Amino acid sequence: MDTTTVDALVADYLRRLDAAASRLPADRRAELLAEISEHIAAARASGSGAEAEVRTLLDRLGDPDEIVAAASDGEPAQDVAFTSRAPSVALEIAAVLFLTVGSLLLVVGWLVGVVLLWSSRRWTTAEKLLGTLVVPFGPFGVLILGGLIGGQQCVTTTTSSGPATPLGGTEEAGLQTTEVCSGFALPPWLGIPVLLVAVVGPFVVAGLLVRRARARAALEPPVVRRSTGSAWGGLEIAAVALLGVGWLVLPIVGPVAGLACAWASAAWTSREKWVATAIAGGGLLLPVIVLVAGVALARGGGVG
């Protein structure tokens, strides 16, 4: 039995019923949806749950339009408009944004992402573990921590004479050269691939997590809301407010949360979301580039 196919069948049926019931009063509409959902769930629980069985069940229930026509006998038609949309994945999008881009804010942003990741019910424990462990402190956390720790540093000193030859030193024409190294560094053939995986890995995992969360949200019953006639809802106001002034309260985290709200909203097109992300992302990345370049230059100047 393919549970995903059966769930999709039921979700599609409920979506059509919800659309057909838009002419009913809100309370009657919610009541009808709940009633039919419960009936389907009970029938599935008592049967084998096979796809053919569920198809028969839905056929017996009848066409959604007919169900609504029967339910609306005696109900006055109303002009109030309703909007129906897929359940929000704002929490999940915020989680992956904090786990990746949020790691710009050393440790704190990534920790916020971990908390959001584990609070979602749309991921399995294995997926949550994957999101947490790939990679601890996030891609930018790895870069920043690597820059702060400093890797391996060597100092070479040359002395003119001395009766004893220090361990590790060389003696040539009365000069002794001693190299003292501190810290730890991987050889380039290992270090570069490890660094690439540490930086790219979290973004790949983030993409996978978002795709799975969206697929699972699509199987859930739609969210029905009374239409206000304006495109500005709570999510849209939060997105613009967090981007506009969020950086004053929480640098980096505020704008990242604003982008999460924008991506979770259906009011903007994908193109508009990408443009906004590019505009805000440039401002977020520049300080990190400056920091990494500064650390690299400082280390380069201090060695030798």
Partner 1 sequence: MSAGLLVLTLFVAQPLGAIGAAVYLAVRLNARTAAD
Chain positions contacting partner 1, by CB under 8 A: 230-232, 236, 239-241, 243-244, 246-248, 251-252, 254-255, 258-259, 262, 267-268, 272, 275-277, 279-284, 286-287, 290-291, 293-294, 297-298
Chain-centre distance of CA 48, in angstroms? 36
Show the tokens assigned to 44. 């599935």
The residue among 135, 155, 153 whose CA lies nearest residue 145 is 135
CB of 298 to partner 1, least distance (A): 7
CB of 253 to partner 1, least distance (A): 11
In the chain the first and final C-alpha atoms are separated, in Å, by 67
Nearer to partner 1, 124 or 274 (CB): 274
Strand partners, 179: 156
CB of 80 to partner 1, least distance (A): 17
**Rounded CA separation 106/138 (Å):** 9
CB of 228 to partner 1, least distance (A): 11
CB of 107 to partner 1, least distance (A): 17
Q: Give phi and psi for 33, each to the nearest 5.
A: -60, -45
Show the tokens assigned to 18. 């919800």
Nearer to partner 1, 95 or 276 (CB): 276
Nearer to partner 1, 71 or 144 (CB): 144
Nearer to partner 1, 125 or 270 (CB): 270
CB of 102 to partner 1, least distance (A): 13
Nearer to partner 1, 64 or 255 (CB): 255
The residue among 170, 92, 172, 95 whose CA lies nearest residue 138 is 95
Tokens 């906004």 belong to: 276
**Rounded CA separation 229/225 (Å):** 11
CB of 225 to partner 1, least distance (A): 17
Show the tokens assigned to 185. 């560094």
| Residue 219: count of CB within 10 angstroms of its CB | 17
Nearer to partner 1, 47 or 302 (CB): 302
Strand partners, 154: 181
| Residue 291: count of CB within 10 angstroms of its CB | 16
Nearer to partner 1, 175 or 296 (CB): 296
Peptide bond into 135 cis (omega under 30): yes
